[in-house]
Chains A and B, each alone.
Chain A
């Protein structure tokens, strides 16, 4: 566990770079994390997904997987992979400041 500075703000992150406290997230933090993971610009579509991920995590108690994001955030699976390459479940969670989606082992 460590403290990192994103967009001029110090936030607590775990070993994999996920925010430990959802309340420390700001859009500036999101932009900085996105740049770090290889997404230089956050477009409107990115923000739709990020906002959905945050509100859904708050109501469900767990971060949404790709299918859930596609069902509700108004993007197709292909688009989601273009916006957040490789592992959208994990990448969306990191940029959105929500916990990594869980698997049991």
Chain B
């Protein structure tokens, strides 16, 4: 019996497990997934939870329900990867052999890596919304908030869902307006980048949103430490807050850190087109766990999965790998008031205006606010549980297409 072993059952790991178990002959291949958590969390919902727009139960499903019956699920933590022996050691010492290994262990927030973030103010006036627990505690704090300085801080890149911090600012503006206290709240977005938007076309089209929503922006601010009421940058600038929403540094999984397989943030060096792990035979990496210069987002994991599944089949049958992943990502960006915009891009092409997925027809508008985009974002949750995770075909091309996009004039 040959073994396809998948470490991590998040978005990427689950999709790949469910699709490979259908493709690989059951008599020859065992597909096994290792993940210690008993539930699968729909992470895109965490953006809305602090504003009271979702219940926790809607965002969580028992893991067993998300995995094909033929996939073996080991509910354990990985201790280490022994690539010489082609096996993975679990926390209780059990050794799992592999013929093909997929590292899909994701990324996690590390508030411990910023001095002072986990001090007395943690979950009292300092919150994250990138974990279920964090989002729930933030919801409680926002419900009680009566006025003052609310600061949203992006600590450093890369993070999952790079647009979420800005979306949070837009939704916070709407939330405080609904509460009737927007005039008592000062909203500031603090970023280490040189702008809230760094891409020229996006910046031109969307810059007005910040002014309209009265969100102040503090740029080129790299947080060195946090007190219970101030952000302090490495070059001694200070931003005071009454409530801080932090998007902390992200790293790869603990076992990746321990293994020395990852880079300075425990992301694994990965071929950006084939998704093969660099320097390791028969090992692939997918989703947030890679170091490829694509966004860490569910859509990227989905488009990567197309290439990965093709390459797992090729590797299983001794064929050369294909280099087809182009860095494609698309993301809905909530702008408040029941509207959102959509961006679609890849390694080489920045977000451009136009229609998606069908040229002219859309129905989604790129780099433009619309109610339909917002509805699309909300409807996606159903597609996620019922289409994407089970591995049903989703009718959008994995590679980004320029069709339907307005390209800038040649210089």
Q: Which residues of A pack against B, CB within 8 Å?
A: 1, 15, 61-62, 65-68, 71-72, 77-78, 80-82, 85-90, 101-105
Complex partner residue of B197 from A72, A80, A90, A105, CB under 8 angstroms? A105
Asked whether, in the complex, the Cβ of B329 is within 8 Å of the Cβ of A104, the reply is: yes
Interface size on B, residues (CB 8 A): 32
Asked whether, in the complex, the Cβ of B293 is within 8 Å of the Cβ of A62, the reply is: yes
B69 contacts A by Cβ under 8 Å = no
Given known A65-B157, A72-B264, contact A77–B234 (CB-CB < 8 A)? yes
Q: Determine the residue in chain A with the shortest Cβ distance to B200.
A: A15
Asked whether, in the complex, the Cβ of A87 is within 8 Å of the Cβ of B264, the reply is: no
Most chain A CB atoms below 10 A, which of B192, B202, B343, B351:
B192
What are the residues of chain B within 8 A of A86 when measuring CB–CB?
220, 235
Mark contacts of B128-169 with chain A using CB atoms, 8 A cut-off: 1 yes-contact digit, 0 otherwise.
000000000000000000000000000011000011001000
Given known A67-B265, A105-B351, contact A87–B220 (CB-CB < 8 A)? yes
B100 CB to nearest chain A CB (Å): 26
Asked whether, in the complex, the Cβ of B264 is within 8 Å of the Cβ of A105, the reply is: no
Asked whether, in the complex, the Cβ of A81 is within 8 Å of the Cβ of B202, the reply is: no
B245 contacts A by Cβ under 8 Å = no
Complex partner residue of A61 from B200, B263, B293, CB under 8 angstroms? B293
Mark contacts of B388-400 with chain A using CB atoms, 8 A cut-off: 1 yes-contact digit, 0 otherwise.
0000000000000
Asked whether, in the complex, the Cβ of A61 is within 8 Å of the Cβ of B272, the reply is: yes
Complex partner residue of B156 from A65, A82, A105, CB under 8 angstroms? A65
Q: Determine the residue in chain B with the shortest Cβ distance to A65.
A: B157
What are the residues of chain B within 8 A of A82 when measuring CB–CB?
235
CA distance A71 to B220 in the complex (A): 20
Given known A67-B265, A77-B224, contact A105–B202 (CB-CB < 8 A)? yes
What are the residues of chain A within 8 A of B156 when measuring CB–CB?
65-67
CA distance A102 to B349 in the complex (A): 12
What are the residues of chain B within 8 A of A80 when measuring CB–CB?
234
B177 contacts A by Cβ under 8 Å = no
Complex partner residue of B411 from A1, A61, A65, CB under 8 angstroms? A1
Asked whether, in the complex, the Cβ of B163 is within 8 Å of the Cβ of A66, the reply is: no
A-contacting residues, B230-264, CB 8 Å: 234-235, 249, 263-264
CB<8 Å pairs between A and B, sample of 23: A15-B200, A65-B156, A65-B157, A66-B156, A66-B192, A68-B263, A68-B264, A71-B264, A77-B222, A78-B224, A81-B222, A82-B235, A87-B220, A88-B222, A89-B192, A90-B194, A103-B162, A104-B295, A104-B351, A105-B166, A105-B197, A105-B199, A105-B333
Mark contacts of B338-368 with chain A using CB atoms, 8 A cut-off: 1 yes-contact digit, 0 otherwise.
0000010100000100000000000000000
Asked whether, in the complex, the Cβ of A66 is within 8 Å of the Cβ of B162, the reply is: no
What are the residues of chain A within 8 A of B331 when measuring CB–CB?
104
Asked whether, in the complex, the Cβ of A105 is within 8 Å of the Cβ of B411, the reply is: no
CA distance A95 to B383 in the complex (A): 46
**Other 7 A-B pairs with CB < 8 A, given A65-B156, A77-B224, A87-B192:** A66-B192, A72-B264, A77-B222, A78-B224, A82-B235, A104-B162, A104-B345
What are the residues of chain A within 8 A of B333 when measuring CB–CB?
105
A96 CB to nearest chain B CB (Å): 17
B90 contacts A by Cβ under 8 Å = no
CA distance A15 to B194 in the complex (A): 14
B317 contacts A by Cβ under 8 Å = no
Asked whether, in the complex, the Cβ of B220 is within 8 Å of the Cβ of A102, the reply is: no
CA distance A61 to B291 in the complex (A): 11
B193 contacts A by Cβ under 8 Å = yes
Q: Determine the residue in chain B with the shortest Cβ distance to A100.
A: B198
Complex partner residue of B293 from A71, A89, A102, CB under 8 angstroms? A102
What are the residues of chain A within 8 A of B194 when measuring CB–CB?
87, 90
What are the residues of chain A within 8 A of B235 when measuring CB–CB?
81-82, 85-86
What are the residues of chain A within 8 A of B198 when measuring CB–CB?
103, 105
What are the residues of chain B within 8 A of A68 when measuring CB–CB?
263-264
CA distance A61 to B265 in the complex (A): 17
Q: Determine the residue in chain B with the shortest Cβ distance to A63.
A: B293
Q: Determine the residue in chain B with the shortest Cβ distance to A86.
A: B220
What are the residues of chain B within 8 A of A66 when measuring CB–CB?
156, 192, 222
B245 CB to nearest chain A CB (Å): 19
